[in-house]
Structure formats: C-alpha cells, structure tokens
Amino acid sequence: MKDSARFLSYFARRPGAYAAGFGTMALSAALFLAMPRIVRYVLESLETDPSPRRIALACGAILLLGAADAVLFFFTRRILIGASRDVEFEMREDLFAHLLRLPPRWHRKSRVGDVMSRAVNDLSAVRMMIGPGIMQAANTLVVGSIALTLMAFASPSLTLVALGVLPFVVVATQGMGKVTHRRFTAIQEFFSEISASAQENFNGARLVRAFAREATEEARFDAKNRELRRRNLRLARLNALYFPLLQALVGSGFAIILWVGGRQILAGELTVARYVEFNLYLMELVWPAIALGWVVNLWQRGTASWNRMAELWAAEPLPEESGEGPLPNGPLEAKGLTFGYDGGPPVLRDVAFTVEPGTTVAVVGRTGSGKSTLLQLLLRLEEPPFGTIRLGGRDLREVPLPLLRRTLVAVPQETFLFSDTLAANVAMGRPGATRAEVERAALEAGLGPDLATFPKGLDTIVGERGITLSGGQKQRTALARALLADAPFLVLDDAFSAVDTETEEKILEAVKARSGTRTIFLVSHRLSTIQHADFVVVLEKGRVVETGTHEELLRAGGLYAELAERQRLSEEVEAA
C-alpha cells in the first residue's frame, strides 16, 4: 500500500470509536462462543440426570446469549461502519481540497474523467475496505482465535486435524487475492478511460451533433463498454470460483473430522458431548473462514483503489501562502524573459518592456508568437524564471499567489461559468459584493440589453458551463466578474472575440472610464481593440520586435502595420 502513513492517520483521529467497536465485537464473539459450552454441559448432565427442566434452562440461557450477542453486534456495526463513513467524508474533503491546490499545469495534463473515477469509484472501494472489510477481518480474527482455543480444549487431536485444512485455505486465498488485485486495478484504470471519454463527449455534445458523429461515438463507447464488461465478468468468474472452493475445503474438513472423531468415540477416547461441542465451534468457525475470502477481495480492491488515490496525493500542490497584506503597486517590468515549456525550445526570447500603472497595454502578434504564454507568466499559471518579471520592484515569484490573484484578474479566452445564477457567476469576482455592485459590473460589461431578455434577469440559471448563453454573453459575464474584483491589473486575453465591434467599443469606454490607476493588458487580433491602448508590444516568434503607440507603429511601417493592413483588407472583403 502506497502512502500508508496517510492512510493510518485517518484511523488515529478516532481511536475511541475503534476501541469501542472492537470491544463490543469481542464481547459479542465471547457470548456467541459460549453457546457450545452450554450444549456440552446439558448433554453431559443428561447422562446422569435426564431432566427436562435442565434442558429448558439451557435453552433460555442460549436465547438470552443470542439476544445479547445481537445487541452487541448491532453496536459493533453501527460504530465501525459509522467510523468508516466519517473516514470516507474526511478523505473526500481532503482530496477535493488537494485537487484545488494542484497547479494548473497538472490539471492540463490530467483527464477529468480519470480524476473523477479516482475521487468517486476508488474512494467508494476504499470505504468498503475500511468499513465492512476491517470489521469482518477483525471479527474473523477474534472469533477464529477464540474458537480455535476452545476447540483445542475440547479435543486437541481433532483441532490438529482441522488445522490440516488451513494451509490449503491460505494458498487458495493468496493466489486468488493476487489475481483479484491485478484484475481489479486493470478494471479501474480502464473505467477511468471510459469516464474520461464519456465526459469529453458530454462536454462536446454540440460538436458531436454538429458533425453528425453520434453513431461513431456510440460505437466507440460500445466497444469500450463491452471490454469493461468482459473484464468485470472475468473478475466475477474468479470470485464465483473462490467461495465454492472454500466451501469444498470446509466440507472436506468436516468429513475428515467425522471420520477421525467417530473412530475416537468408538474407541472411547472422546465423548459424544465433547464431539458435539467441537463441531459447534467448528461450525462457528466456518463463516469467518468463508468471510475471509470476501475480506481478501475487499482488501485487494481497496488497496488497488487507495494506490490510485495516493497517486493524486503524490502530486505536489502549490504552497500555502497568506493572502494578507497590501497589494503590489508600481510598474510591471519584464527583462530578459526567456521561457520554454517543460524544457522545450523557448517560446519567448529575451522579452523586455516596462508598463507604468494606469496604462492600457496591447500585446499583438501572429498566431504562435507567444502572446498567451506571456500572459500565463504574468498570471503565474506558468512560473517565470527568477528575476525576469518584477511587479512594483518585487520579483513576481516572491509575491504570494493569493495576493497576486487579487492583484491581477484575468478574463481568459475560453470562458468558464458554473451551473448557477448569472449573479453568482459574476459575484465570484468578489463574494461579499452587494447586489447593486454586481448589477453595476454587469452593466459595465455590456450585459444590460441581455438582462432584459433573460427570464429572471441576474437570477437566471446559466446552465452547465454557461450552455444557455451565447459566446458573447459568456465573455461579457466573465468580464463583469473581473470588473467586480476591482483589481489593479486587468488582463483581457482576446476577451471580445465573440462580441461585435460596436458593443466592444462601448465596453472598453466604460472600463477605461473607471479604470483610474488600473493597468489593462489587452491581447486581441482586432484593430478596433488595439487602437484603444496607450502602448503596444508586438511579438514575433517570441521576441519583442516593435513597441509604441498605435499611430507610431502604423507610421513605422513594420510588422504591426502589415498586420493592421491585412485586417483592414479582410474586413473590406467581409463587408463586400
């Protein structure tokens, strides 16, 4: 088992519950195993004093023991299964919090369906292991050890005969357990793949329908689903073989004990009463022996699932930093910024510029010139090299992330909205904002005309990922969220691509009107957006090739002028 220290820490948090559960289990087992001794006592007494009253008293005692055993077993299940649910709750909470703290790079490389499979299905298998699995394993250990001790007192020779079957049970259990672990791990990994595939189809449902790919995707899912069924059936056949095999071994043990015990009775070496007592202990040992197979099955599944969950916990989270303190203030400087992904070739090369507070900066360049990479570095979605970016005279990597997130707020190119009301999505920018502040941000982002058409205005549910909204409405909602945060830096990564130029101009005017000392970064391909900037940085193959105002760059006749001319011609063609 991987990361066993973390696993055991959940049990260390509630020692009282497990002590109480195992205590009631031990008492329950003691009462249950006292019944064969009463039967032997009655059988022996009947040989000298055949009294019906003695039989009635013994039956009454057994009934009382059975009732007390049932009550204790109820509390055992309630305590131990309840504790397992508490552990499951804490594991889910811890895992969710851990996943939220993982860096963006990790989430980009991980498939959502696989993460969901580990956080839901694997956690359920772990819960079965730490609940019913541990309870039944402890019960098997307690009942088995006490029963074997009492069997030895009843007949040492028959106990040795019974133990002769044990090695066969151990071999069968170990062999089946290894195969179960291997097959269940493969099933869980394959189920993760199916979950990821289904999740991608659900998210891309519009695209699937647009290209009439329903039949193709159904066929792909059917093939994977059939393979999953085949693997599950193989595991089911293995489990179906295991329990009959144990029963066959137990039956063989009973036959051998009857043969040996019967001959001892005939030879006068064993009384019938002790033989009956011994067989009752043996029968009470049968269920723990058979349950051992179920326990092994749960344990193999649980450890396989825990190991998959441990891989999530093994991912290094972002450091926990305090978000308290004044927001960084001052110029943003990039100097000698060279960066490549995962040790690959540089995407940015020796980038340098300085942006004063309150400036609107446009970053321009052809596709693949490094614009989005530059913004990711500014937001520390990717870590820039030390000393290459400074904010207010302070190295960007020395600014705590919570503080940086309050300083630089971005409207990404791909907007994400939660399945909640429009107001709730906007208020994510500042959860404590008043209704009036939320509405003001929505109006500044150009959502005014749309709110009048929505059935419940700001209280309209936007659907999963904002599916009920158009592309432009989603972008304006994301912009309203950023405006409500009122951060010193606003980063707009092609945030008006789905908005018409007239609406875009109104939004930019509203944004600049209340900007004050706010610094705005604009990444756009539109000339109408760029010309509002006070300062333009032109990138080409990761290098800064031009800087200046819109008019200065047009007069220079360089790359910026070429891009502007191409866009003008493209717009004329579209208009024609």
Residue type, 111: R
| DSSP letters for 200-251 | HHHHTHHHHHHTT-HHHHHHHHHHHHHHHHHHHHHHHHHHHHHHHHHHHHHH
Q: Which residues of the chain have pLDDT under 70?
A: 166, 169-170, 173-174, 177, 181, 203, 206, 289-290, 293, 321-326, 495-506, 509-510, 512-516, 528, 571-576
Please give the radius of gyration of the chain, using alpha carbons only, rounded to the nearest integer: 36
pLDDT at 102 (0 to 100): 84
- CATH 3.40.50.300 location in the chain: 332-575
Which is it for strands 360-365 and 543-548: parallel, antiparallel or unpaired? unpaired
Q: What is the pLDDT of residues 395-433, one digit of tens each?
A: 888 888 888 888 888 887 777 888 888 888 888 877 778
pLDDT at 383 (0 to 100): 85
Q: Is 562 helix (H, G, I), strand (E, B) or coil?
A: helix
Token pair listed for 559: 């790359």
- CATH 1.20.1560.10 location in the chain: 4-314
pLDDT at 314 (0 to 100): 87
| DSSP letters for 64-96 | HHHHHHHHHHHHHHHHHHHHHHHHHHHHHHHHH
pLDDT at 312 (0 to 100): 87
Q: What is the CATH number of domain 332-575?
A: 3.40.50.300
Q: How many angstroms separate the CA atoms of 384 and 464, rounded?
A: 33
Q: How many CA atoms lie within 13 A of 522 on its CB side?
A: 24
Q: What is the pLDDT of residues 333-370, one digit of tens each?
A: 888 888 988 777 888 999 888 888 888 888 888 888 88
Token pair listed for 291: 């349950």
**H-helix segments, 395-526:** 401-407, 422-427, 435-444, 448-453, 471-485, 501-513
Q: How many angstroms separate the CA atoms of 80 and 291, rounded?
A: 17
Indicate the Cα dihedral angle 426, 429, 431, 432, nearest 10°.
-100
Q: What is the DSSP letter of 315?
A: S
Token pair listed for 352: 């340098």
pLDDT at 555 (0 to 100): 85
Q: What is the pLDDT of residues 507-524, one digit of tens each?
A: 776 676 665 677 888 887
Q: Are 489 and 526 in contact (CB under 8 A)?
A: no
pLDDT at 71 (0 to 100): 92
What is the model's pTM? 0.69
pLDDT at 170 (0 to 100): 65
What top-level class would CATH report for the domain 4-314? mainly alpha
Q: How many angstroms separate the CA atoms of 312 and 111, rounded?
A: 12
